[in-house]
Amino acid sequence: MAKLLFLQNIDYEFLGPMYISSMAKKYGHLCELALGKSLSDFDFVIKKFEPDLVGFSIMSGSHQWAREIGREINDQYGITNIFGGSHPTFFPKFIEEKGVDYIIRGEGEESMLEILNCIDKKESFHHVQNLSHMQGNTPVHNPLRNLNNNVDEYPFPDRNLFDALEKRLDRSVRNVITSRGCPFHCSFCFEDAMRKLYQGKGKYVRIREIPEVIEECKRLKEETDVKVIYFADDVFGMKKDWLYDFLKIYKREIGIEFICLLRADIIASDKKYAFKLAEAGCRSVFFGIESGNEILRNKVLKKQLKDEQILKAAELLHEAGIKFRTYNILGLPDETLEDAFSTVELNISIKADYPWCSIFSPFPGTELTDYAYLKGYLSPTFNYERLSKSFFLESKLELENIREMQNLQKFFQTAVIWPWTFSIIKKLIKLPSNFLFRAWFGLVYFYLYIKSEKRDFIPTLKFALKNYKHVLAKQ
Ligand code: B12
Ligand code: SF4
């Protein structure tokens, strides 16, 4: 039996560690998770649990924190660490940084299990697929294993992993994924990069069997006090036949309100789609518009989504009584201030209930980041140490009118929800960025987040204050 301890600084139930934990436990290993910010927050659990390995699940922006904690744990307790998630997957050079012992690229269930088995047998695990480590001063990146074609072979995510932290979490909304991978090629997205990484390693888009998903939801319903299920797939219901069969059974056997992430073109392609979602208990959906400029959206972002499809989807969702969140990005390569205004206008015209907007962040490994370098928007000296903790902060691109776009992002939701403010906002954004703009953004964001995800007020407020304080800080 080997012992793995996950450490995390965001008060949110991450599915990645939950999947890895259930696999580890199934084969007799122990796995725990602790939340905190500094080493002292973890001292108690490290001494009590005495892990063989400390694991971090990281996105770009939390890598700096995780690496520092990993290094301190090396120094103070002599415990080895391992990092997985999107940042090490797309920035494997991370292995060369001080404080990083091992990384796993891509999906991690089997590799982590093999590592724990080796630790148990006191054998070296340096041969394990997907693993990177340093041999002296040379990084060694082992090849990736083939993708598991049948993700239902994995046990359901370990919903007990966060039990000890119950008081810190909002557990009224629980995440479930019904598929892995996405068939689209958006140039700004991790999914397109992930598919390229796994080329020749098996089928990338894998949809789970309906009875398995229903069984997972059933257990959630019976064993927890879940109020809303969030289907956090990249594109929920990408296969209509699958979705319609699933919804029938979901309504009958689960019946819990749900929210989901999907694409506007799929909703627009079939008049029945939105109604069937509504009938089965869906109250909100989330989809990406990204930019109001159709050419930018499709030529640069490669979203494959027409204005007319967005308009149609919105109309059908309104008719079906489903509210929707739209994802938008400002500060994109090649974007002008007029384009940014057109993104606001498109959201106003479709009466988006929960508009949402970020500033383009050059995440590693994506085609759009390469494009930003190529076109000179991103300085050749830019490195991921300088990446913001959140994509609600400042842009890293050298673009004309970038200050106005950054400010517009802070007022994006206001302009869409209360369109009469837009003309005033157009003037306000010329001012220097300041605390009041950020504080206003924080308030409106929080209000719409609670409404769109039906979250409980107090735990969400605590989550926001703990994890997103930096959005208010001076940039
Ligand atoms: C739910 C979600 C969130 C949740 C939970 C995060 C989480 N990691 O679970 C919250 C709300 C907290 C969140 C926040 C953010 N998110 Co987010 N999020 C997602 C989303 C939609 C689903 C994640 C998920 O559950 N996946 C399913 C699980 C099974 O997959 P997984 O997490 O990748 O885990 C597997 C492997 O990565 C690996 N693995 C994961 N962890 C570990 C750890 C170890 C030790 C090992 C060995 C392996 C391993 O094994 C797992 C099982 O195979 C993804 C999109 C996506 N498709 O993943 C974006 C995504 C992860 N988010 C993204 C971003 C950008 C953010 C933010 C940075 C946005 C912001 N506000 O600025 C913030 C984070 C702030 C910060 N820097 O700290 C990007 C990450 C890009 C990048 N380069 O890092 C993604 C990929 C979206 C995208 N398409 O670009 N997010
Ligand atoms: S943005 Fe959405 S549709 Fe596009 S590749 Fe990413 S997950 Fe797929």
Query: What pLDDT does 474 receive?
Result: 53
- pLDDT of 470 reads 62
Residue 400 structure tokens: 């004309």
Query: Does ligand 1 lie within 6 Å of residue 85's CB atom?
Result: yes
What is the chain's alpha carbon radius of gyration, rounded to the nearest angstrom? 22
264 ligand 2 Cβ < 6 A: no
Whether the CB of 129 sits within 6 Å of ligand 1: no
Contacts of residue 79, Cβ cutoff 8 Å, sequence gap at least 6: 46, 51, 52, 53, 54, 73
pLDDT of residue 165: 83
pLDDT value of residue 460: 75
pLDDT in tens, 262-278: 999 999 999 999 999 99
Question: How does DSSP assign 310-372, residue by residue?
Answer: HHHHHHHHHHHT-EEEEEEEES-TT--HHHHHHHHHHHHHTT-SEEEEEE----TT-HHHHHH
| CA dihedral over 106, 363, 15, 183, signed as positive or negative | negative
Q: What is the pLDDT of residues 90-106, one digit of tens each?
A: 999 999 999 999 999 99
Task: Give which of 77, 58, 131 is closest to 101, Cα–Cα.
Answer: 131
| Centroid of ligand 2 to alpha carbon of 189 (angstroms) | 6
Cα 429 from Cα 403, distance rounded (Å): 8
pLDDT given at position 280: 97
DSSP 57-75: E--TTTHHHHHHHHHHHHH
For residue 233, the ligand closest to its alpha carbon is 1
321 conformational bin, left if phi > 0, alpha if psi -120 to 50, beta if neither? left
Please tell me the predicted confidence (pLDDT) of residue 296: 97
Residues 361 and 86: their CA atoms lie apart, in Å, by 14
φ, ψ of residue 50 to 5 degrees: the values are 45, 65
Q: Is the CB of 12 under 6 A from ligand 1?
A: yes
**Is residue 318 a contact partner of residue 324, using CB atoms and an 8 Å limit?**
no
Partners of 357 in the β-ladder:
328
Smallest CA separation from ligand 2 atom 2, residue: 234
Helix (H, G, I), strand (E, B) or coil at 256: coil
Query: Do residues 168 and 34 lie in contact, with contact meaning Cβ atoms separated by under 8 Å?
Result: no
Ligand nearest to the CA of 102: 1
| Residue 151: predicted pLDDT | 95
All residue ranges of the chain with pLDDT < 50 are 475
The pLDDT assigned to 92 comes to 92
At 395 the pLDDT is 79
Ligand 2 atom closest to the CA of 303, numbered from 1: 4
DSSP 10: S
What pLDDT does residue 453 have? 75
Phi and psi for 401 in degrees, rounded to 5? 60, 25
Q: Distance (Å, rounded) from C-alpha 164 to C-alpha 33?
A: 9
8 lines ligand 1 (CB under 6 A): no
Domains, the chain: 3-141 (3.40.50.280), 170-471 (3.80.30.20)
3-state DSSP assignment of residue 254: coil
pTM: 0.93
**320 token code pair:** 């079906």
- Is residue 199 left, alpha or beta, with left meaning phi > 0 and alpha meaning psi from -120 to 50? beta
